[in-house]
Amino acid sequence: QVQLVESGGGLVQPGGSLRLSCAASGSRRIINVMGWYRQALGKERELVATLTSGDRANYADFVKGRFTISRDNAKNTVNLQMNSLKPEDTAVYYCNAHMFNGITWSDYWGQGTQVTVSS
Radius of gyration of the chain (CA): 14
Distance CA 97, CA 115 (A): 20
Among 11-25, 31-45, 47-61, 67-81, the least confident range: 67-81
Q: What is the pLDDT of residues 70-92, one digit of tens each?
A: 998 777 899 999 999 999 999 99
Distance CA 87, CA 68 (A): 18
Q: Pairing between strand 91-100 and 113-117?
A: antiparallel
What residue spans of 10-112 are helical by DSSP H? none
Helix (H/G/I), strand (E/B), else coil: 117: strand
